[in-house]
Amino acid sequence: MQNTVAKLLKFMSLQCLIVFVIQVLSMQFLIAADTHGQGLKDTRLSLDVHNKRLVEIFRLIEKETDYVFAFPDEVRNSKKRLSLNLKNETLEQVLITLRTEAGLKFKVIDYTITAAFDDTINRNEPARVEDNGQEVIISGTVTDQEDGSGIPGVNVIVKGTSIGTTTDANGYYSISVPDGNVVLVFSFIGYATQEIAVNNASTINVVLVRDVQQLDEVVVVGYGEKTRANLSGAVASVGSDVLESRPITDTRSALQGVIPGLYIQRGSGQPGAEGFNLNVRGISSTNGGNDLMQEDSGNSPLVLIDGMPGNMDLLNPADIESISVLKDASASIYGARAANGVILITTKAGKKGAPQITYSTNVAITKLDGMMDTPTHYQMAIMDNEANIHNGAAPMYTPELLERVRMGDPNPIPHPVYGSSGWMLFFTNTDWREAVFENGFQQKHSINISGGGENSSYYLSGSYYDQHGVIRYADDNNKRYNLRMNYDYDFSKRIRLETKIAFENQRRTDIGGVGSLGLMYETIFGMPNHPIYTQSGERYFAQGGWGNAVAQAKEGETATFDTRNVNTNFKLITRFTEDLTLNLQAGVNYRWGNSVDIANSFPLYTWDESAIAYYSIANPDQTWVSRRNEDNVYRNFTGYLQYKKIFGKHEVDLMAGASHEENDYDWTSAGRTNFITPGLW
């Protein structure tokens, strides 16, 4: 079976590849130069702060340097306050001081400083040296394993306490400890932390080893890969473990707060219409954006999925292997579109061997959060009286009426002011949010199969996402289906074909004519002194121009928004020698969008149902339907030659190439009003 599947996938890939002819109609040579910013030892600043929180100190450092801080909520919410007076100190020394004073540990990657509390230090203890009459003086030198030189600024801490010191310019330290049975912790940025038991010794020399785990990590960059040790630009990356650890349905929500320097704003919680805004380099003046079929994306970064421009909105998070964000010169190889940064997404590849099947699922409950409280009928009556008094008028709610409101008397009376217009004064209370909102629900199911033979590997996946919104009665849901096939075949040791084909389909539903957002406004600003139904309990009530959110949720038509993607991506890699490689890539992305929005009309009645007060959403002679169709076809053809050679400790990496792109976007929109009979749409 395995050979049959491999042969079938190979045949499909070759047939699809024949359709594409690598074209070079316009030449664009890609040249990028690395730039080097100031390092920790070269960056100097002064800090004069008194009783400031850690977050405030970090922000001051960010203003004075090119570095930014990332930290967990534990640090963000810390009540610890520091007073510092540092004059023209290096950033390295500033971090050392913060390490000692606040019990922090730091990791520096590019221009991002990650701060966290050091678990080896008891942060509840004051910064002091304990004195129990049995102190032991321990001294020694801390050196670098590679060249044997002394390392200045190494933190030397007695484990479990706040007792500590730092090494001098020659790597020498001296520390007074409570007794000879403690453990010393030696730590410094860029080196592996060591813990050494004193065991009554008076001299302890330590050799620190560089932490090469991060330096050896392979990071995807423009048109290739590099190890972190060879990176000179600002590049941040995350792996699939970050995406798999969160119960999310959208890749962008999984990246919130994960990648330093990538700011993600969410404009809504509506399923399928969250309104994400991605920002890497701050607000720019660029007109137009990088997202296909996105009108408001002027500051969005360029998104490349397996080397092809695309969108993250429908991408299956379970198919992602890694995500890299290029922030400075590393992104310039992509030209003007990289002015807002570049996000590189690499999808998973098959693993050779017997087929492996993986299934994952999660179910979650969602709810509204962070909403302001709305007044009850009684509270509104009190405020109404206060407003009349300040306006020089008599309070409308007498003590008797206030008592009836407090008791929730179900028997209304003609309104004291607007009774002649047919208004009624009610004493019951309506919680519109309770009547309209409910908890949402979402589920995700994902399955993939991976395997391969001697010359090939495949990755097949499918997923289903189902999200239900928080509006009771209404159909504000979102469903998405994803299918993907990644197939790699080695024709020989020097020729390789990579095939990636994906299909994505999404249907989002909403409340026709007003949308979920409009209904939310109607709910939040609903009058607590207006009932939902008329006296008979069979029809919807309204008066004074106020709407009825429950009526809109129940009677509104369902608007539909369909989106479908078909993405094809073929890459032929020819390795002429061990150092010289030719890469030819061709891809076509098809995207269709269809939407139907309907504004239905339905009546709202007076309390006794003697007349129709007015209509909701639209009057009978103003009902409308709008339809919109969008078609987008994007074609990309790229070829580049790469020469990579290592000479001893030096590495040469040269690349020259050309690319050709086409993007066709067509849309039609039509509408109709004044339907003779509702339901003809």
What is the domain partition of the chain in residue ranges? 120-212, 232-347, 377-428, 436-447+454-673
Determine the Cα–Cα distance for residues 160 and 179; give it in Å rounded to an integer: 14
- Range picked from 128-137, 528-537, 671-680 for highest mean pLDDT: 528-537
> How much of the chain, in percent, has pLDDT values that exceed 70?
83
409 φ, ψ (degrees, to nearest 5): -60, 125
Q: How many whole angstroms separate alpha carbon 657 and alpha carbon 583? A: 9
Given a cut of 60, whether residue 1 has pLDDT beyond it is no
At 431-466, the pLDDT tens digits run: 999 999 999 999 999 999 999 998 999 999 999 999
Per-residue pLDDT at 295 exceeds 50: no
584 residue type, one letter: L
CB within 8 Å of 290: residues ≥ 6 apart: 297, 300, 301, 302, 303, 309, 337, 340
Whether 367 has a pLDDT exceeding 70, the answer reads yes
Average pLDDT over residues 570-575: 95
The pair of three-digit structure tokens given for residue 651, joined into one six-digit string: 């590495």
Q: Does the pLDDT value for residue 133 go beyond 70?
A: no
Does the domain at 120-212 match CATH 3.30.70.120? Answer given as no
Q: What is the pLDDT of residue 282?
A: 61
Q: What digits encode the pLDDT tens for the residues 381-398?
A: 999 999 999 999 999 999
Mean pLDDT score, 486-503: 95
Query: Average pLDDT over the chain, rounded to whole?
Result: 82
Flag whether pLDDT at 415 surpasses 90.
yes
Q: Please give the average per-residue pLDDT across 464-481, as a whole number.
A: 94
Q: Are 130 and 176 in contact (CB under 8 A)?
A: no
Residue 33 pLDDT = 31
Q: Are 388 and 493 in contact (CB under 8 A)?
A: no
What's the length of the chain?
Answer: 681
Identify the weakest region by mean pLDDT among 218-227, 449-458, 534-543, 568-577: 218-227
Check pLDDT > 80 for residue 579: yes
The helix (H) or strand (E) run that includes residue 98 is helix 91-102
Spell out the SS3 assignment of 452-513: ECCCEEEEEEEEEEEEECCECCCCCEEEEEEEEEEEEEECCCCEEEEEEEEEEEEEEEEECC
Lowest mean pLDDT among 14-28, 30-44, 256-270, 289-303: 14-28
User: pLDDT: is 432 or 252 the higher one?
Assistant: 432
Cβ proximity of 202 and 295 under 8 Å:
no
Cα–Cα nearest to 540, from 557, 519, 529, 554 = 554
Closest CA relative to residue 259, chosen from 309, 208, 312: 312
What are the CA-CA distances from residue 444 to residues 46, 255, 359, 440 (Å)? 51, 18, 11, 14
- % the chain with pLDDT above 90: 45
Compute the radius of gyration of the chain from its Cα atoms.
33
DSSP 582-636: EEEEEEEEEEEEEEEEEE--EEEE-TTSSSEEEEESS-GGG-EEEEEEEEEEEEE
Q: Which residues pair with 443 in a beta bridge?
A: 363, 466
Identify the sign of the CA torsion 423, 424, 426, 432: negative
Report whether pLDDT(16) > 50: no
Nearest to 617 by CA among 570, 548, 664: 548
What average pLDDT does range 298-314 have in this prediction? 86
Yes or no: say if 530 and 411 are a contact pair by the CB < 8 Å rule: no
Contact 542, 613 (CB under 8 A): yes
Which of 63-72, 166-175, 272-281, 444-453 reaches the highest mean pLDDT? 444-453
DSSP β-ladder status, 302-305 and 342-347:
parallel
Residue 282, phi-psi category: left (phi > 0), alpha (psi -120 to 50), beta (remainder): left
User: Is the pLDDT score of 25 beyond 50?
Assistant: no
Asked whether 409 and 428 are in contact (CB, 8 A), the reply is yes
What pLDDT is attached to residue 221?
55
DSSP symbol at 662: E
CB 173 within 8 A of CB 188: no
Global confidence as pTM: 0.66
Q: Which residue has the higher pLDDT, 100 or 587?
A: 587
What φ, ψ does residue 552 adopt, rounded to 5°?
-65, -40
The helix or strand, by DSSP H or E, that contains position 461, with its residue range, turns out to be strand 456-468
Would you say the CATH fold of 232-347 matches that of 120-212? no
Q: Using an 8 Å Cβ cutoff, are 491 and 572 in contact? A: no
For residue 131, the model assigns a pLDDT of: 35
- Give the residue among 329, 328, 322 at the shortest CA–CA distance from 344: 322
Residue 509 has pLDDT above 70, yes or no: yes
Candidates 2.170.130.10, 3.40.50.1820, 3.60.110.10, 2.102.10.10; CATH matching 232-347: 2.170.130.10
Higher pLDDT, 615 or 240: 615
